[in-house]
Amino acid sequence: MPLTLHHLGLSQSERIIWLAEELGIDYQYVFHKRDPIFAPQSLKDLHPAGSAPVMEDDPSPVTDSKVVLAESAAIIDYIIAVYGNGRLAPTPNDGAVYAHFLEWYHFANGSYQPTLVRLMSIQGADPSSPVVKNTKAKLGRHLDMIDARLAETGAYFAGEELTAADIMIFTSLTTMRGFNPVEYDVEKHKHILAYMKRVSERPAYQKAMRICEGEDFQPLIGPKAELWPIMRSRKL
């Protein structure tokens, strides 16, 4: 099997393992342990980005040579196109589902992840500062729009079926909370909470998380989240 997927513990690279499991494709799996919070040298040796995920395809059927990719969305697009027969990525033939898919697929890392990173960087900052106020307001708006979309579909982000948009966003709604606890209000965000339960029951998701984080792993799908042990009593 030419495809090797590199996962960094408790990170966005769980998306790629989950994608491979949903598609039922073969791959070799490599785990990298955080050192102690950030990426270890083993990941930096693979790609100049020095972050996870990283995918190696050797030989790639596209280039007949080795392809090494970083960036979740680039890897997802590549795997779906090259090994997934386009599954989980709606096209213009899917009508409105396509438009919704595009927006939410890009929202995950284009808007929501940056908001989470901003939130992390304002920890301990003056609550009256305009940046702190703006960041908190932005998070509130994002959660409201996510909840409204999930209320609309009652299922997944693009529509009735799981797509790669869900695979991109779900990590940001779950695992990333262990770095920067984001609470979901049981009333205001009830559709987010129902969605978390729905997705976490998918066999491919459960298998992926067992591979990535071990048998006893509990995803952060409830209203409150705690910091991951590696983050406790550490100053960033």
Ligand X SMILES: N[C@@H](CCC(=O)N[C@@H](CS)C(=O)NCC(=O)O)C(=O)O
**Alpha-carbon span 125 to 188, nearest angstrom:** 27
By C-beta, is 109 or 163 nearer to ligand X? Answer: 109
By C-beta, is 53 or 159 nearer to ligand X? Answer: 53
- Of 49-57, 59-67, 184-192, 195-203, the window that binds ligand X (rule: CB under 6 A) is 49-57
The reply on whether position 117 binds ligand X by CB under 6 A is no
Q: What is the DSSP letter of 177?
A: G
Selected binder of ligand X within 60, 109, 172, 180 (CB under 6 A):
109
Residue 132 C-alpha from the chain's centroid: 24
The reply on whether position 52 binds ligand X by CB under 6 A is yes
- Of 48-56, 138-146, 154-162, 196-204, the window that binds ligand X (rule: CB under 6 A) is 48-56
How many CB atoms are closer than 10 A to CB 203? 9
Residue 70 CB, nearest distance to ligand X (Å)?
A: 6
Rg of the chain over all Cα atoms, to the nearest angstrom: 18
Residue 165 C-alpha from the chain's centroid: 9
Provide the 3-class DSSP secondary structure of residue 223: coil
- The binding site for ligand X (CB under 6 A) comprises 8, 11-12, 38-39, 51-53, 70-72, 109
